[in-house]
Structure 1
Amino acid sequence: MVTPARVVIALCLVAPFVAMLWVGSYAKTDPVFIGIPFFYWYQMLWVLLSTVLTMIAYKLWQRDQRARRDASKGGAAQ
């Protein structure tokens, strides 16, 4: 079943892949950040962003599973 939470989970998990596979968007040296060319700091930024997005997806998944479990218990008791 497709729910809004599952759509957000999918977007959180797919975004890093799209960002990293679209090399043409970051295959350049400018702008430089503290002496590091864009190509490198962009990828390092996505390491951090991927961690945050994966944590968000995990928490949403836990909440979704808990809600499904509670809904099935409530339906079975009636």
Structure 2
Amino acid sequence: MSTPDVPTRGPARSGPYIVAGILLAIAVLVPLFVPAYSIDKPRLAGMPFFYWYQMLWVPITAGLVGVSYLLVAKEDRRRRAAARGARAEEQEQ
């Protein structure tokens, strides 16, 4: 949980945000490419591929969103800690 009273003015690293964006784009765009999975076979327990493939993406998307959240939250905590450290240094001077 973030603390809104501490500003996040520290330098932002773009890496975690780019990775999180790519993971979220995969979670959204891959299921939208319907021609890749609009087939009947292989069947799983009698269920056509079209349906079970879509259901497979539910936990995959949850995992991708979870990893994205953890990356962004970790970067937010780092920036807040840097802002707190800078503020403490200013008060000491």
TM-score band, normalised by shorter chain: 0.7 to 0.9
Extract structure 1 runs of 4+ deviating beyond 6 A. none
Point out which structure has higher relative CO (alpha carbons under 8 A, 6+ apart).
Answer: 2
What one-letter code is carried by the residue in structure 2 that aligns with 1:20? P
Query: Structure 2 stretches of 5 or more lacking a match?
Result: 1-11
Larger radius of gyration: 2
Percent identical residues: 35
Structure with the larger helix share: 1
Normalising by structure 1, we get a TM-score of 0.87
Compute the RMSD of aligned alpha carbons: 1.4
Q: Could you say which residue in structure 2 is the equivalent of 1:48? A: 59
Which digits, 9 at most, give the CA deviation of each residue in 1:31-61, with x for residues without a partner? 2122111100110000111111111111111
Query: Structure 1 stretches of 5 or more lacking a match?
Result: none
